[in-house]
Structure formats: structure tokens, C-alpha cells
Amino acid sequence: MKRVVWLAVVAAVLGAATACAGSKPFWMRSARDQTPPAAAYEHRTYCTGWVSRSQQPDQPDVRPLVWVLDGAGDLRGCSNALTSAIGADGPVEMVVFPWSHGYRRLYRDQTDMAHARLQGARLARAILDRKAQEPGRRVVVVAHSAGCAVALAATDLLPIDAVDRVLLLAPSVSTGYDIRPTLWSAKEGVDVFCSRKDWVALGFVVRVIGTTDNFWSGAAAGRWGFQPKGPYALRDVEVARLRQHFWSPEIAWTGHTGGHHGVNTQGFIQTYLIPLMTGK
């Protein structure tokens, strides 16, 4: 009975994230509620990536290729925010990788690690296919919340230095997740953006239903950082590839005030994420 009550409370919290934008606090608002800037697009059938029509088919795109994975429930908060900040003809080409069970299915996405692994295998194949077609092109993986589980599952399978960089935004996997394979698959390493103020999504909710990899301690890496121990402990060369950035009041001017979706604010994306994507 207690568990039923807890799950009902969690459902109410998660449901609030999908209510109308006018009644939601900033940290629960989805970028679906925002109208993206008008532009001409064409859809790529192998995924939900969008590119500007101004890119001619016979002219190879030499911009960095950024794979984006949204959080649970296919709310597209991260990808819409990145699209708005970067633009169709911005400094990178963005490819949104669909992995969710479906729109608003937050609980299922958050708790089904087997599904995340299957989707991660799909992503790994897609990355390698594009690399074969466009060798030498810069490749970056950006994931938010539960989408980080899929990104980690993919990079667990990739060869050494297969991608250039991995950005994990508020990951909802456990602090003890074995991140070593991902560190080796990313040539420039992994940047993790965490916030101890993320006490709703990565505090209360995670404590009730667990992290995406089903670790029931209630300690999410997006709040406390990765803390590999025992057989998963990092060697010095691996430590050098892991950079964990904790929220502090000094970055509040970007619009990121420490909540779960603060990483999706325009100021934060332009100041902290785009330079890592482009490598400049």
C-alpha cells in the first residue's frame, strides 16, 4: 500500500511536467511549449534529425555532427532548446535520435534499462554508419536525463575514440554506473553537468522509482556526479577524461538556476555547451 501511494505521488510530479506551460514551474517546462523559430527544413528518414534546405546535397557538411538524446517521455525539451539556440544553419548539424517508448511515457522510459540498452545499440550502429560515410568529421553526443542511459549504452559498445566528445546533462543513471567504456570511446573525454539543487527529478523522484539503471540507492549522477568505486574505479588516464561540472550561483546569469532543465536555457547552451560541441 505504501508503494502504491508513493507511485501515485510520483505520477503526480511527473504529470505536472506535461501540463500546460502557463501552470508549470520553470524546471518542469518542456520546450514543446515553446514555438521554434521559423525556418525551412527537410526531414531525414533514418532518424528525426533536421537540416536546413540551404545545405546542398552535393556539398558535404563539414560542421560537427551532434547526436542529441532527449530525456524521458519524448518531451523534446533538450532538442528543442538546442534547435532554438543553434539554428538550422548554426555551427553544428544536429541529429535528434528517437529512443522513447512514447510521448509522456516518463515512468516507462525512466525505469526500463533493457530498452535503453537496445536503443543504445541502435544509436551505436547509426553513429558508425555516419562515420563510415563521413570519415574525419567531428562527432559529439549530447544527452539529457534518462537519455544519458541510452548514450552510455551506445558508447559502451563503440570502439576507442569513436566519437570526439560526450556531454551528459543531468544524467539520471546511478553514481556508481561503470563509465569507463564511455571514457575510452570519447577522444576528448566526457563532460557531466550536475546540480545538487536538482532535488525534484533527481532527488525525490529518483529516490522513489530508482535511477534509469535501476539502482535503488536514490543517488543519481546528475545530482552527485559519477563516483565509480571498487572494480569500476578509474585509473589516472581515465580520471583525466572525466570532467564533472557542478552548478554554482556564478552561472545563474545564464538562466540555469540549478533545476533539472536549467541546462536547456539559451544562455547556458550558448555559453557552455556550444563551445564543447564545436571544439573551439
Please tell me the predicted confidence (pLDDT) of residue 270: 97
Angstrom CA distances, 5 to 8, 10, 28, 209, stand at: 5, 9, 22, 12
- Residue 32, classified by CB atoms within 10 Å of its CB into exposed (0-12), middle (13-18) or buried (19+), is middle
What was the pLDDT predicted at 1?
Answer: 52
Structural domains of the chain, count: 1
The pLDDT, as a whole number, for residue 100 is: 98
pLDDT of residue 88: 81
pLDDT of residue 221: 98
Per-residue pLDDT, 10: 46
pLDDT lower than 50: segments of the chain: 2-5, 7-48, 51, 53
Res 56: pLDDT: 58
Note down the domain range covering 210. 2-278
CATH code where residue 248 lies: 3.40.50
